[in-house]
Amino acid sequence: MRGIIPLVLLTLGIAAGAARAAPPAQNADIRDSGFVWCVSGQVNTFNPQQASGGLTVDTLAAQLYDRLLDVDPYTYRLTPELAERWEVLDNGATYRFHLRHNVQFQSTPWFKPTRPLNADDVVFSFQRIFNRSHPWHYINGGNYPYFDSLQFADTVESVRRLGKYTVEFRLKQPDASFLWHLATHYASVMSSEYADKLAQADRQEQFDRLPVGTGPFQLSEYRAGQYIRLARHPHYWRGVPRMPQVVIDLGSGGTGRLSKLLTGECDVLAWPAASQLSILRDDPRLRLSLRPGMNIAYLAFNTNKPPLNNPKVRHALALAINNQRLMQSIYYGTAETAASILPRASWAYDNEAEVTEFNPEKSRQQLKALGIENLQLQLWVPTSSQAWNPSPLKTAELIQADLAHVGVKVNIVPVEGRFQEARLMEMNHDLTLSGWATDSNDPDSFFRPMLSCAAIRSQTNYAHWCDPQFDQLLHQGLRSQQLASRIEAYDKAQALLARELPVLPLASSLRLLAYRYDIQGLVLSPFGSASFAGVFREQPGGVKKP
């Protein structure tokens, strides 16, 4: 594919004033100037601050934007990104960041920056999230699911500029997890100059739909349900990306994406189904990358609906689910049976946690003793593969069969994208298959977004479970910088979850990529993301071509 096709945005309701783009050129041309990344998913916004996960966070954020901090994919340690260094003050209630100089924003058809990144951009990016009276807070809905679930609008006292390249965050109380939350891709830094320009033109809604960041690639073209084209950012602060462009192919499902990889139409297949592993392993033209993942797949009970509001009923239903069969039929050895909503790689994982027993007879007896007969439940299921579950619909069918054996009828309701989130928040579902993945090794990044009371309002707590004692334990885990004190609080939180069982942990999945033999420089993070900046294609004979 030679040159860059003009920008076209079809589903986000944007009139960009560009000519209609032609379909993608033949694959041979793409291979001359870039590579094709195949993944399933939908784009509802290009701003990861306003996303609750999915394609925007897992794939696009690392290309379009940078954060103050990064996480080393091998050591799980915090590392500098836009902030060269930082200081923790007031026992974790104040955080001061010293920014890099000469970090350039992307120059696009819709915005031409006149200056490098400075403290104003960081202040704007986070005041918009945390300050409900900020003029940009409610633009495009005013929802920031990740940070809303952490109640950051109520806990951040101020974000202020101390100098051109110095920013200070003051919290109302110490929070030992704060740095980790700023290292997630939800905490991307935006351009305040771009925001000012749009405000002057009264076109603020464009901000989250036509992105401008400091990342290695910038948006070139988007066709809904088909593809996203990214062009490299020539002034990227880490150095010019190796490939001129990347095409993210959204156009086909599981077997279709596999076929494209095998025929060379795709260079990388993100999150292939575990059942496809034998085909992928046996093909000498392909490579596989597997990493332990910071993710969890789970079954959420709607704890606001009888009889699922009774923990005894939830435990009885859990006894009927054959988790070992899920491991064999869904993951094919690419996941670990989960005993906690924390992955085993987390430093707060409770090693004494036990996987829920599989005992259908005991399940039937308990349901009968509780007076539960002829129970019918609706199970909401995402249709596309997820980082934590490669085959959600098949998983749902196995759970449906398991519960049928104990006299519970389950109706499966397939749902997609934002539609799923909206319907789940109507609270009409009984069960939902979901999961959580984050680019953070801090347990707070799992507990609060998934199960805190605030996460109900932020639409990330699908169990609609609110327990003040649980929330109090989470706050205890944040008040101390001492690891031992935090572990003690999180051990109690995990014990409480095991008793109440608002969600049934199912699996912690390996992160898996399959890619063509000539693709080099692709580093998969255990947190689910991968930067495309260092990716290049090795030509026959060992000649490496950018």
270 and 245 in a common domain: yes
Whether residue 64 is predicted with pLDDT greater than 60 in this model: the reply is yes
Question: In the chain, what is the straight-line distance between the N-terminal and C-terminal CA atoms, in Å?
Answer: 14
374 and 250 in a common domain: no
222 and 196 in a common domain: no
Helix (H), strand (E) at residue 221? strand 217-223
Q: Reduced to 3 states, what is the DSSP secondary structure of residue 488?
A: helix
Mean pLDDT (whole number) for 83-109:
97
Tokens for 85, please give them: 């260094």
Tokens for 470, please give them: 């649980």
235 and 211 in a common domain: no
Residue in the block written with tokens 């490669």: 390
Query: What would you measure as the largest C-alpha separation in the chain, in angstroms?
Result: 71
pLDDT score recorded for residue 426: 61
pLDDT score recorded for residue 540: 61
Angle of helix 119-130 relative to helix 192-200, nearest 10 degrees, comes to 70
pLDDT score recorded for residue 523: 81
192 and 155 in a common domain: yes
Q: Specify the higher pLDDT residue, 45 or 387.
A: 45
Dihedral angle computed from the Cα positions of residues 33, 35, 40 and 43, in that order, rounded to the nearest 10 degrees: -40
Q: Domain ends where: 196, 215, 234? A: 215
Whether residue 6 is predicted with pLDDT greater than 50 in this model: the reply is no
Q: Domain ends where: 215, 235, 252? A: 215
448 and 306 in a common domain: yes
Number of CB atoms found within 10 A of residue 464's CB = 21
Q: What is the CATH number of the domain that holds 20?
A: 3.40.190.10
Closest by alpha carbon to 176, among 92, 266, 112?
Answer: 92
Residue in the block written with tokens 């403290």: 119
246 and 372 in a common domain: no
193 and 50 in a common domain: yes
156-210 pLDDT, tens digit each:
999 999 999 999 999 999 999 999 999 999 999 999 999 999 999 999 999 999 9
Q: What is the CATH number of the domain that holds 153?
A: 3.90.76.10
Q: Domain ends where: 215, 236, 269? A: 215
Alpha carbons 181 and 184: distance in angstroms, whole number: 5
116 and 80 in a common domain: yes
Number of domains in the chain: 3
Q: Reduced to 3 states, what is the DSSP secondary structure of residue 302?
A: coil
Q: What are residue 245's DSSP bridge partners?
A: 34, 231
Alpha carbons 462 and 493: distance in angstroms, whole number: 18
Closest by alpha carbon to 156, among 133, 135, 131?
Answer: 131
Q: How does DSSP assign 84-101, residue by residue?
A: EEEEEEGGGTEEEEEEPS
- Is 0.85 topped by the overall pTM? no
155-168 pLDDT, tens digit each:
899 999 999 999 99
Q: CB-side exposure of 75: number of CA atoms within 13 Å? A: 5
Closest by alpha carbon to 98, among 163, 49, 6, 14?
Answer: 163
Alpha-carbon torsion 137, 424, 464, 434, what sign? negative
For the ranges 409-418, 436-445, 502-511, the one whose mean pLDDT is highest: 502-511
Q: Which domain holds residue 43?
A: 39-215
252 and 329 in a common domain: no
pLDDT score recorded for residue 210: 97
536 and 447 in a common domain: no
Alpha carbons 319 and 327: distance in angstroms, whole number: 16
Closest by alpha carbon to 63, among 314, 196, 243, 281?
Answer: 243
Alpha carbons 261 and 91: distance in angstroms, whole number: 51
Parallel, antiparallel, or unpaired: how do β-strands 166-171 and 156-163 relate? Answer: antiparallel
150 and 1 in a common domain: no
Q: What is the CATH number of the domain that holds 409?
A: 3.10.105.10
307-326 pLDDT, tens digit each:
999 999 999 999 999 999 99
Residue in the block written with tokens 């793409």: 30
494-526 pLDDT, tens digit each:
999 999 999 999 999 887 889 999 999 988 776
Q: Specify the higher pLDDT residue, 254 or 296.
A: 296
